[in-house]
Structure 1
Amino acid sequence: MDLISRLRDLGVRLALDGDNLRVDAPNGVLNDGLRTELAHCKTEIINLLEWSRRSNRSIALPLERRSRDISPPLSYAQQRLWFLDQLEPGNSAHNISWTVRVKGVLNQAALQRAVDDLVVRHETLRTSFPSLAGKPFQKITSKIRVPVQLEDMTDASDEKLRAYLAHLASRPFELDNAPLLRITLLRTAESEHVLLVLIHHIISDGASMRVMFRELAALYEGHVSGQPLALPELSVQYADFAIWQREWLTGDVLEQQLDYWKKRLSGAPEVLELPTDRPRSAAQRFRGASVLRVLPRALANDLRAIGRAHRCTLYMVMLAAFKVLLNRYSGREDLVVGTPISGRSRTALEGLIGFFVNTVVLRSDLSGNPTFADLMERVRSVAIEAHSN
């Protein structure tokens, strides 16, 4: 934050005194302009200082390899999915499926060896989630094989191929039975294949899939060339993260987080009614879809320029625009939107396959007919505060 940097250069010290902001400055430094800026950004500065205080505690607790003598606990995110699976066993809504069309000669033996290497490298791919007296834990198997299942689809139409891929992707997993990963290779022509990777969300997320495909491709190329690749050793595994998270997010830190979100979401609307052409189903059917659109480069640059002018990221600008759209169609001024964050707060976590992503709830007040500039400021404040909690 530019203001904090300028104040630091001037010898001004900012600190928290309970819930208040304490400012210690040399005589004559705080002129009227700086006082105005401080007053304007007071809430944001307090949020950043609170985030820094919590981060310092997490930094003080080392993230390192832990003993596997005792079965590791589930992370908070994993426990949430495990609980949902207990409520509705056999639900495939939390399956993650990625398909890749491969053209050219494919060395199936090299692909299998690459998969074998990947499973050895990442403990999550050998992990199941049994429970004892109703309490789940991570069971990491030392050796397990994920076979690449080859199926011949050379005579199948595109429609039949898509239907079969959808069928494979909808097959449920049993969380207490590893592996929670299936790989299927469909031959569609002599030198064309479709690779389907299906994995349960409890051991993966979107960023993890990118890690998986990047490493799988590198390992495959190494085996094809006859020079197997030795990837850099991972300093920690996901189970180490789960143990670290449980030790850090406890006691006062956990209570502060729960207290913040209870207050922030108190009285929030449960459902946003939109004038859709079909009524909302009374039961959750897990039939949602996503639509992707690519913005023209000139428009994207203009949006970034608007953000810079109002100290907002492109994400904040787009979120503000989305909330305007929701307000227009719903007439609601109290709008709640969920947005994913990576959850990988340490460098050591970036190369892991695991369930790190989390959903942050952003609640915005559109009352008073604000200008778009005013709304961006509101969205910016909410986003910074939410990400710091």
Structure 2
Amino acid sequence: MDHYRGRDSALNEQVLWRLRGPYDHEAMTRAVAALTARHEPLRTTYPRGRRLRQQIHEPRPVPVPVTDVSAEADPAAAAREIVATEVAGGVDASVWPLRPRVVRLDPEHHLVVLTLHHYCSDDYSNALLARDLRALYAAETGETADLPAPQWQYAQWARWQADQLSGPNLERLTDYWTGKLTGARLVEVPARRRRPVPDGEPPWISVEHYVDAETTAALRQLARRHRTTLFPVTLAVFYALLYAETGADDLTVASLFANRGQPQVRDTVGFFASMVLLRERFTPETTLSELIAQARTTVMDAMRHQDLPHQLLPPDTVAGGTGRTDDVLFQLLGSLMTRADMAGEELDDMEVQLERRRFALEFVVVPQGDQLSALLLCSRAEFDPLWADTFVRDYVTLVRRAVADADVPLARLRGAPVT
């Protein structure tokens, strides 16, 4: 990804924290330094060369510049532009993997921005960093902070992973995934075709619609009836929508798993997230309830076998010709780890990061209080904005139909009445 898509800033991660009330910049600088001392990946560089290797540095002070936008006509808009510029600007991991900044909107409203190279962080790690920075800043300003010490640093896990990906265990993992994926094909969405991007238009389409609170509560009840979580249920609805779009009854989509089966890495920062391919086969008469049960089994099996990076599979395991298997991705945001900042302005702050170009079509379901947000990110050069809007609306409609009657066959689900 770094080689082929680094120019699109796909490898930047961001942690954002809105700080209200009195602000102590010296305390924040010390807290950032303590954060880098606590987590080795924040002070690990990757020298350029034929082989990627980690070079871990001793703890040292990290400059934390302040940008004051309090005199701007619209400080919030100015701050948002800074956040967008930060996430769009590449982080040179051969020099330093972390770029902190503080934006002052007014004397008692600051936005703390940590921009990181993806080599050293993922969504779960971002949540850890948000938690730890809050606690470390509190400690620097005289409050009590009780943080669990990381049992392993990332380099220890990397050595453990290398040991796991050898011998009988590698054979076991490879046998599972080849058995699951051999004969699978990439999803071919009929609406996808190359098209020129009009001048002045952004290269990326972002469409968001909401599942209301009553429907979301019913969806959670449906998950409980199936003894599962929202992830397999929302994934099953996504399969149903793809079936309606493509007519294909054998669908494989990518997703990201936390890949933290070892308890020693519960509080470890690093890039653990594993791309997994979730394949489901069904018939037109399969009901959504049956598809949820299948998806539950598929997800649980994938979790038990997520240690194998899918790049280690034989290149022809999934048919498609390009070798790319992540063009269509489904994600339940927050499924990696509950974030402390998933509300209000902090949730709005995430929008800039979500709009980065990463995959041709990325469908994200985001829990927001008692509602769900359904968000589609796709390439404007490959998809039409009107189609994208309809696709997300149809997903929300299918969710409503699913909770009304999950026993309707997939062939009739799209046209089933909503009660």
Using structure 2 for the length normalisation, give the TM-score.
0.65
Q: In the alignment, which residue of structure 2 is the partner of 1:208?
A: 125
The partner residue of 1:218 within 128, 131, 135 is 135
User: Structure 2 vs 1, CA of residues 329 and 87 (structure 1 numbering), >3 Å: closer, same or farther?
Assistant: closer
Q: Give the 3-state SS of the residue equivalent to 1:236 in structure 2.
A: coil
Residue identity opposite 1:203 in structure 2? C
Which segments of 5 or more consecutive residues in structure 1 lack a partner in the other structure?
1-83
The partner residue of 1:177 within 79, 82, 95 is 95
User: Structure 2 vs 1, CA of residues 246 and 114 (structure 1 numbering), >3 Å: closer, same or farther?
Assistant: same
Residue identity opposite 1:172 in structure 2? G
Give yes or no for the alignment of 1:109 onto 2:26.
yes
Tell me how far 1:271 sits from its aligned partner.
Answer: 3.7
Q: In the alignment, which residue of structure 1 is the partner of 2:108?
A: 191
1:306-317 to structure 2, matched below 5 A, reads 306-317=222-233
Contact 2:70–2:106 at 8 Å: present in 1 too? yes
Tell me how far 1:169 sits from its aligned partner.
Answer: 1.4
Q: Give the 3-state SS of the residue equivalent to 2:95 in structure 1.
A: coil
Q: Give the 3-state SS of the residue equivalent to 2:183 in structure 1.
A: coil
Tell me how far 1:292 sits from its aligned partner.
Answer: 7.0
Q: 1: CA distance between counterparts of 2:148 and 2:16?
A: 26
The partner residue of 2:47 within 126, 130, 148 is 130
1:86-97 to structure 2, matched below 5 A, reads 86-87=3-4, 90-97=7-14
Tell me how far 1:193 sits from its aligned partner.
Answer: 1.7
1:43-192 to structure 2, matched below 5 A, reads 84-87=1-4, 90-130=7-47, 134-156=50-72, 157=74, 158-178=76-96, 180-192=97-109
Q: In the alignment, which residue of structure 2 is the partner of 1:325?
A: 241
Q: In the alignment, which residue of structure 2 is the partner of 1:260?
A: 176
Residue identity opposite 1:344 in structure 2? R
Tell me how far 1:123 sits from its aligned partner.
Answer: 0.7
Residue identity opposite 2:35 in structure 1? L
Tell me how far 1:247 sits from its aligned partner.
Answer: 0.8
Give yes or no for the alignment of 1:385 onto 2:263.
no
Residue identity opposite 1:372 in structure 2? L
Residue identity opposite 1:95 in structure 2? N
Tell me how far 1:288 sits from its aligned partner.
Answer: 6.1
Tell me how far 1:331 sits from its aligned partner.
Answer: 2.0
User: Structure 2 vs 1, CA of residues 232 and 328 (structure 1 numbering), >3 Å: closer, same or farther?
Assistant: closer
Q: Give the 3-state SS of the residue equivalent to 2:82 in structure 1.
A: helix
Contact 1:223–1:229 at 8 Å: present in 2 too? no
Tell me how far 1:339 sits from its aligned partner.
Answer: 2.1
Tell me how far 1:131 sits from its aligned partner.
Answer: 5.0
Q: In the alignment, which residue of structure 2 is the partner of 1:3?
A: none
Q: In the alignment, which residue of structure 2 is the partner of 1:37?
A: none
Q: In the alignment, which residue of structure 2 is the partner of 1:348?
A: 264
Q: Give the 3-state SS of the residue equivalent to 2:267 in structure 1.
A: coil
Residue identity opposite 1:200 in structure 2? H
Residue identity opposite 1:239 in structure 2? A
Contact 2:188–2:246 at 8 Å: present in 1 too? yes
1:10-36 per-position Cα deviation (integer Å, ceiling 9, x unaligned)? xxxxxxxxxxxxxxxxxxxxxxxxxxx
User: Structure 2 vs 1, CA of residues 231 and 383 (structure 1 numbering), >3 Å: closer, same or farther?
Assistant: closer
Q: Give the 3-state SS of the residue equivalent to 2:91 in structure 1.
A: coil
Contact 1:85–1:91 at 8 Å: present in 2 too? no
Tell me how far 1:170 sits from its aligned partner.
Answer: 0.8
Q: Give the 3-state SS of the residue equivalent to 1:136 in structure 2.
A: coil
Q: CA RMSD in A?
A: 2.7
Which segments of 5 or more consecutive residues in structure 2 lack a partner in the other structure?
306-419
Contact 1:90–1:174 at 8 Å: present in 2 too? no
User: Structure 2 vs 1, CA of residues 233 and 307 (structure 1 numbering), >3 Å: closer, same or farther?
Assistant: closer
Q: In the alignment, which residue of structure 2 is the partner of 1:235?
A: 151
Structure 1 vs Structure 2: percent identity of aligned residues? 30
Residue identity opposite 2:65 in structure 1? Q
Q: 2: CA distance between counterparts of 1:163 and 1:183?
A: 16
Q: 2: CA distance between counterparts of 1:302 and 1:88?
A: 40
User: Structure 2 vs 1, CA of residues 105 and 309 (structure 1 numbering), >3 Å: closer, same or farther?
Assistant: closer
Tell me how far 1:93 sits from its aligned partner.
Answer: 0.9
Contact 1:115–1:216 at 8 Å: present in 2 too? yes
Q: Give the 3-state SS of the residue equivalent to 2:243 in structure 1.
A: helix
Q: Give the 3-state SS of the residue equivalent to 1:98 in structure 2.
A: strand
Q: In the alignment, which residue of structure 2 is the partner of 1:373?
A: 289
Q: 1: CA distance between counterparts of 2:158 and 2:209?
A: 33
Residue identity opposite 2:34 in structure 1? D
Residue identity opposite 1:352 in structure 2? T
1:177-202 per-position Cα deviation (integer Å, ceiling 9, x unaligned)? 22x11111111223222221111111
Larger radius of gyration: 1
Q: Give the 3-state SS of the residue equivalent to 1:363 in structure 2.
A: strand
Question: How many pairs align?
Answer: 299
Q: In the alignment, which residue of structure 1 is the partner of 2:275?
A: 359
1:241-300 per-position Cα deviation (integer Å, ceiling 9, x unaligned)? 000110112123223323432342233232431437xx45699x983647474641x434
Q: In the alignment, which residue of structure 2 is the partner of 1:287?
A: 204
Q: Give the 3-state SS of the residue equivalent to 2:280 in structure 1.
A: strand
